[in-house]
Structure 1
């Protein structure tokens, strides 16, 4: 699966954090945008990508990937593109069907035993009534 380069929009900004004079004058941080809705990838991939990465998308359907961990702009560009590639790769994989299971008898018994112990501990916290003496 390939995404044409003209669908990607890169903007460069100054990276935050320490770095002295170099960081104050060079724009090394990369923000990579890809509009999933307007892309030329198949519809099934768009739908699956939207479902998996909906928290990373804007209302317009853009996915924003930031990279600023390297000192050079070229390495940050590669890092941002690699992150987007891994996101797309994850969306192309068919999800595994979850087979529902029930807890075993031992797990149920351990849970009930733990609940009873907590109840007994709380019962010991009750005040002693004068009539009980």
Structure 2
């Protein structure tokens, strides 16, 4: 059972874990042992609350397929158990990040002082450029 929050949990039967052979370093261990984990989680069939499902399906994340299935591959560790824990943790982080509400941006106006300083600097720059011109008698 994967606990997302105090009220929300995901049952083990909802998460499909497959052990596959890992790519990369590891010597002969790579060729013999299936240490990488391939995690699949179907959002639509899950027991998550409706708000969680909606926000997850709206995410534009490459790990979420068009059918609403989250696919996570974990192969950073050399043991199957560590990769399993890492994949479950990444699933949990993805679900939690979908529920974070971003603060609304408030548009602000520049202050009178900053506007005045900006105009002063522009006029100073203009006078500097005028003084660089050729003097015509």
TM-score w.r.t. structure 1 length?
0.72
1:23 aligns with 2:21: no
Q: Which has the higher helix share?
A: 1
1:9 aligns with 2:40: no
Counterpart among 36, 49, 53 of residue 56 in structure 2: 49
What pairs with 1:1-133 in structure 2 (closer than 5 Å)?
Answer: 1-102=8-109
Shift of 1:54: 4.0
In 2, Cα distance between the equivalents of 1:102 and 1:55?
38
SS in 2 for 1:19: coil
Shift of 1:5: 1.1
CA 1:7–1:33: 2 relative to 1, 3 Å: same
Could you list the runs of 5+ residues in structure 1 that have no partner in the other structure? 114-133
SS in 2 for 1:80: helix
SS in 2 for 1:30: strand
Alignment length, in residue pairs?
A: 114
TM-score w.r.t. structure 2 length?
0.70
Cα RMSD of the aligned pairs, angstroms, is: 2.7
